[in-house]
């Protein structure tokens, strides 16, 4: 999980041109290590496939997404077109969500998340991430911005409630804090002088919020 978050945040820093040379090295190193870790986890899950079939199937999804991202990164090069950059961003976030969900299942996911709640949260997050990727890569501060901001308020309320009412312990408190931090960082990136730093903080908070939500749903929030 840590490596994936480093990859996502480093990619955001490169897009924002915050130390792009150094961040490219960090991005490549973390991405390479992440591939090794995914393959190792896939091997471990295959060995335990009879006792934990859900984890095994989730590991297959993680391996598939990792293979897609690796091929895309090689094909697109250092200056990918907007569509490839957006696919790389969304693929990295999807991989983080898969791993966080698997971790939630491993750490006590004995009861299933309600279908209605899980579907609602998943759909809203997917729409928000698509809008965010479009704003960050394709057309910054464009027509999608008002919808992105409105949906951020709705998600902040829903996920803050989920963190307080349905998720126990530190995970619930982290989800509550991140549900508030992500939109605040996004608002700051639009309206204040230190927009690049705030945009990087927004990318990090959004990635952590997605991972925290996936973990909570995996645990059966």
| Predicted pLDDT of residue 116 | 79
pTM for the model stands at 0.86
Domain ranges of the chain: 2-219
- Rounded to whole angstroms, how far apart are CA atoms 93 and 138? 17
**Mean pLDDT throughout 204-213?**
92
Q: How confident is residue 214, by pLDDT bands cut at 50, 70 and 90?
A: very high
Which among 86, 85, 68, 175 has a CA at the least distance from the CA of 129?
A: 86
Tell me 52's DSSP state. -
- Mean pLDDT along residues 88-103: 90
> Lowest mean pLDDT: which of 47-51, 151-155, 164-168, 188-192?
188-192
What number is the average pLDDT over the span 165-176?
A: 89
Q: What is the mean pLDDT of residues 35-60?
A: 85
């Amino acid at each position: 999980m840590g490596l994936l978050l480093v990859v996502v945040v480093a990619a955001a820093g490169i897009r924002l041109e915050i130390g792009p040379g150094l961040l490219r090295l960090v991005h490549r190193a973390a991405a390479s290590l992440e591939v090794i870790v995914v393959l190792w986890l896939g091997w471990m899950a295959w060995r335990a496939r009879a006792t934990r079939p859900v984890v095994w199937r989730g590991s297959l999804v993680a391996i598939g997404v990792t293979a897609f991202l690796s091929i895309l990164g090689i094909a697109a090069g250092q200056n990918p077109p907007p569509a490839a950059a957006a696919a790389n961003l969304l693929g990295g976030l999807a991989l983080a969500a898969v791993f966080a969900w698997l971790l939630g299942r491993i750490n006590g996911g004995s009861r299933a998340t309600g279908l209605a709640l899980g579907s609602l949260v998943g759909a809203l997050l997917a729409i928000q991430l698509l809008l965010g990727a479009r704003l960050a890569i394709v057309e910054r501060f464009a027509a999608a911005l008002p919808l992105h901001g409105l949906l951020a308020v709705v998600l902040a309320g829903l996920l803050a409630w989920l963190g307080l009412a349905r998720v126990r312990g530190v995970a619930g408190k982290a989800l509550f804090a991140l549900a508030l931090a992500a939109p605040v960082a996004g608002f700051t990136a639009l309206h204040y002088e230190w927009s690049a730093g705030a945009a990087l903080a927004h990318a990090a908070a959004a990635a952590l919020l997605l991972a925290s939500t996936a973990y909570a749903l995996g645990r059966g929030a």
